[in-house]
Chain A
Amino acid sequence: ETGVTQSPTHLIKTRGQQVTLRCSSQSGHNTVSWYQQALGQGPQFIFQYYREEENGRGNFPPRFSGLQFPNYSSELNVNALELDDSALYLCASSERRRGDNSPLHFGNGTRLTVT
């Protein structure tokens, strides 16, 4: 079973730039969620994708956007980067089923530093 993989592992960008982070979900999983984890904090929900559509969004501005592809892989795009966007970005996949309580399976994350 292939786990969740994210790329790149580290990234340095300048304020105002745009960034794209990528995620391949675990085999058999049809739902992808993105979380932002600031240093010393718990992960914060950005949004979730199911069947290639956004299916829930946390308290993040529209400059955070995403895509899910037919093979369930996903991208997170952030425009007009700000210093406070520096964080570990975690992708998590799960299998969505009726009445299911399946847990999230996380990748190792992308460490984004904005200077």
Chain B
Amino acid sequence: GAVVSQHPSWVICKSGTSVKIECRSLDFQATTMFWYRQFPKQSLMLMATSNEGSKATYEQGVEKDKFLINHASLTLSTLTVTSAHPEDSSFYICSAKAGADYNEQFFGPGTRLTVL
């Protein structure tokens, strides 16, 4: 099956710093990538949808200036959490769709972010 990787798997940073998370589709071209956030014991919350070469579409309540998304190629999308604060500590998961004809999303392993 299709494989999606994320890097790093976990990161601890100080409040006020920025953190970049990478999401890569390893064996397919992802026309669309999704970024989710999951707090403990809660379901996935879609943050934004990004299509290669265009600006990301953010969900209501998600600050696009704080969560910068770049989908520079068909195999790579990055999420940068700028000026991170402790309340941004969460599990960030990306997923990728191979194309319009494919409904299945393939998930990355997730990135655990802890902001001190």
Partners in one complex: no
Chain A residues proximal to chain B, CB less than 8 Å: none
Chain B residues proximal to chain A, CB less than 8 Å: none
